[in-house]
Structure 1
Amino acid sequence: MIDQDVLERVLVGATQTGADFAEVYAEDKRSTSAGLDDGRVEQVTSGRDRGAGIRVIAGDTTGFAYTSDLSEAGLTAAAAAAAAAAKGGGGGVRTVGLTRSDPHRPNTIVHDPDSIEKARKVELLARMDEAARGYGPEIVQVSAGYGDSVKRVLVANTEGVLADDEVVRTLLRVSAVANGDTGMQTGYQTMGHTVGFEIFDTVDVEEMAREAARQAITKLGARPAPSGEMPVVIKHGTGGVLFHEACGHGLEADHIHKGASVYAGKMGELVANPLVTLVDDGTMPGEWGTLGVDDEGQRTQRNVLIQDGILTDYMWDYLRSRNDGRPQSGNGRRQSYQHLPMVRMTNTFVLDGPDDPDDIISSTPKGVYVAKLGGGSVNTASGDFVFGMTEAYLIEDGVITEPLRDGNLIGNGPKVLRDIDMLGNDFSMGSPGTCGKDGQGVPVGDGQPTLRVKALTVGGTSS
């Protein structure tokens, strides 16, 4: 996108007023989306966005400016604006020599989505609509969406970093609404990977739609969820979002620095049941949060955060690692060139445990089985969280029985980590997600094996 000699001149100019660090982050993103509602194609759109953000740091002050003009003049003007915001005096001459890093490509792309006709993408939606409606007469509404993007990034800074990456993402979603005597209920399925259109050689889109329809129809006969504290079993894959919210954010170094995390100062301590090992890994081929390099040009890597219940590390970006003298962990991320980077997760998950999933259920006399966990929120300072249950069942005498209406799981992250008393050997990743933090959203993945928390508060309407 930008010649190396231009980058070097821009970085030199950005530090001439005494700044000690400057960075150029350039991005070129092409995207396509299509939506279908009630059998009608509502929209098919394509777009392209390109530009650069320039960050300049002088002492404890950060200046930032962005521009859609990638010419040398445009970049120089943005660099001057960022430098003025971070101006710390000084002066002198500084030479920047950039060394391009070897490409790091976790994913192999076979069919670039840009090379696929839009008609083939819309056809996927029509197939899902037909499959969901054909599942049963109770299905009265179907909505489906397709999206893909190809994003090229280039990062250069005054510490000599010169790195580039290309990330391809392909997404498909479907929701089905069923109508019955108890009103309307909704089922939902989504699939997203950092691969090309070849994903549809292996993904059965009709089965996705039928699964959404099954969820909706099953919930028509659901009884009110119980209320109170009880054992909760969470199906493999669906519960990773709990760890993302309940402890992942608390392990991001910016929250640690602010004292806004319950995990501050607990390095080396036992913070979870020894069954639990928690990992953040931006290198997993095909997963939604996978990147070759993070948005500061640092190669992504596998970071073990909790090992056998012991807190072993936090996640780091450039600023926090510089202040603490720690190596970066590949977790500096930003929504786009218009945003500053911050510490963020990539793919966060719990490793397999020793237990058979069937034994986890059969050894639970009474409780709730969560087959699909919804969105939630967490207070990182206290660890308290609330999550929705979008598909759940009663466990009675070690058997999964009646479906339950939507309810909430209420608990505390550190307590949940300690209260996991059984962990399955059936690990899987879950659905693609978008993590929101400080007004920015980035793609993330999460996952876990089937597990049991010996006591969680279920917020239902039945006593």
Structure 2
Amino acid sequence: MIDQDVLERVLAAAVRTGADFAEVFAEDKRSTSVGLDDGRVEQVTSGRDRGAGIRVVKGDTTGFAHTADLSEAGLRAAAEAAAAAASQGGGGARTVALTRGAERVVSPVSQYPDDVRKADKVALLLRMNDAARGAGASIVQVSAGYGDSRKHILVANTDGVFVTDQQVRTLIRVTAVADGDAGMQTGSQSAGQTIGFELFDQVDVEDLARDAARMAITKLDARPAPSGALPVVIKQGSGGVLFHEACGHGLEADIIAKGGSVYRGKKGELVASPLVTLVDDGTMRGEWGAIAYDDEGHASQYNVLIENGVLTEYMWDYLRARNDGRPQSGNGRRQSYQHLPMVRMTNTYVLNGTEEPDDIVRATDYGVYVAKLGGGSVNTASGDFVFGMTEAYLIENGEITAP
């Protein structure tokens, strides 16, 4: 994407005014999206976005500039703008020598989505539409979407880091609407991984659509949800959004540093049941948050955040880890080259326990069984959170009963 000698000269120019640190982050992203509604293809779009962001740090001040011009002149101009924002004097020459990092492949790709015809992507959505509508006469509307992206990133900095990574993601989703005597209900399903079009060798899109329709039809007969304090049993694999929002964000070092987390100052303390071990793992092959390197050039890692209920570690970006003397955790993430990095999760989940799921249900006299969580929100400072349930059932006398 950018030659090594060009990067070295640009970084040297960025720190010429006396900055402590400079970094180039470049990306080249190609993407496709397809949308279908009521059996009609509403949109098919493809795009490409490429450019570089340059960060310069002096003391506690950070300057940042971005450009879509990846020529040496364009990069130098952005570097000088970032340096001007960060520096007020100093100066002197500094030589920057980059060492190319080892190539890491966390999620191999066998069929790149951009090599697949758009007609084949549309065909997936049409199959989903037919499958969902065939699930029952009460299904009155189906919408579906497909998306893929292929992104190359490059990170180089004055610490000598120089790495590249390729990230390929493929996603499909479907929503079905059922109409009954009590009104309309919706069901939705999706599948997405950090792999290519081979996703559809693993995922049966028609089964996915039928499951969305089943969910909508089942909810037509749903009772009002009970109120009050009740035991809640979350289906295995369905609680990711809960732990992501309620725990994960509060363990990000930028929120910790601002005093906005209930977990601040609690390392080494019991913050959860001893049954809970919470992990953030960027090395999980194929999973949505899988990366070889984060957006600051540090290798993805398996990070244990809470172990047997005890808070053991936070997630870090480069600057906060450096300032606090902590090792890099591989959690520096960017929205795009136009944005500064921030601390964000990769794949955050709770390790399996020893209990059988059916035994947990049988041990519950009365409560709620959540098969699928919806969106939610959390106050990271207090730990209070609210979540919706998109598919849930009563537990009565140790059995899952009515929706």
Q: CA deviation at 1:217?
A: 0.3
2:394 corresponds to: 394
Paired with 1:112 and 1:239, the residues of 2 have a C-alpha distance of 30
Q: Give matches, 1:279-290, under 5 Å.
A: 279-290=279-290
SS in 1 for 2:198: helix
Unaligned runs of 5+ in 1: 404-463
Q: CA deviation at 1:255?
A: 1.2
| TM-score computed with the length of structure 1 as normaliser | 0.87
Paired with 1:209 and 1:255, the residues of 2 have a C-alpha distance of 38
Q: Give matches, 1:338-417, under 5 Å.
A: 338-403=338-403
Q: Give matches, 1:120-159, under 5 Å.
A: 120-159=120-159
**Are positions 1:293 and 2:300 aligned together?**
no
Judge conservation of contact 1:58–1:88 (CA < 8 Å) in 2.
no
Q: Give matches, 1:49-68, under 5 Å.
A: 49-68=49-68
Judge conservation of contact 1:21–1:159 (CA < 8 Å) in 2.
yes
Paired with 1:306 and 1:88, the residues of 2 have a C-alpha distance of 42
SS in 1 for 2:163: strand
Paired with 1:297 and 1:191, the residues of 2 have a C-alpha distance of 28
**Are positions 1:335 and 2:353 aligned together?**
no
Q: CA deviation at 1:3?
A: 0.4
Paired with 1:226 and 1:36, the residues of 2 have a C-alpha distance of 36
Q: Superposition RMSD on alpha carbons, in Å?
A: 0.6
Paired with 2:309 and 2:34, the residues of 1 have a C-alpha distance of 44
Paired with 1:85 and 1:110, the residues of 2 have a C-alpha distance of 44
Paired with 2:239 and 2:111, the residues of 1 have a C-alpha distance of 31
Q: CA deviation at 1:88?
A: 3.6
SS in 1 for 2:44: strand
1:32 corresponds to: 32
Q: CA deviation at 1:256?
A: 1.2
Paired with 1:327 and 1:65, the residues of 2 have a C-alpha distance of 27
Query: Aligned letter for 2:81?
Result: A
SS in 1 for 2:300: coil
Judge conservation of contact 1:21–1:57 (CA < 8 Å) in 2.
yes
2:106 corresponds to: 106
Query: Aligned letter for 2:40?
Result: R
Q: CA deviation at 1:176?
A: 0.1
Unaligned runs of 5+ in 2: none
**Are positions 1:267 and 2:263 aligned together?**
no
2:4 corresponds to: 4
SS in 2 for 1:125: helix
Q: CA deviation at 1:230?
A: 0.7
Q: CA deviation at 1:33?
A: 0.6
Paired with 1:325 and 1:357, the residues of 2 have a C-alpha distance of 41
Paired with 2:348 and 2:61, the residues of 1 have a C-alpha distance of 31
Judge conservation of contact 1:59–1:88 (CA < 8 Å) in 2.
no
Q: Which runs of 4+ in 1 moved over 4 A?
A: none
Paired with 1:387 and 1:372, the residues of 2 have a C-alpha distance of 11
Paired with 1:202 and 1:336, the residues of 2 have a C-alpha distance of 29
Q: CA deviation at 1:292?
A: 0.7
Paired with 2:225 and 2:89, the residues of 1 have a C-alpha distance of 63
Q: Give matches, 1:165-180, under 5 Å.
A: 165-180=165-180
SS in 1 for 2:288: coil
Query: Aligned letter for 1:297?
Result: G
Deviation track 1:350-404 (CA, whole Å, cap 9, x = no partner) reads 001010111100110000000000011111111111101111111111111110x
Give aligned pairs, total: 403
1:324 corresponds to: 324
1:443 corresponds to: none
1:219 corresponds to: 219
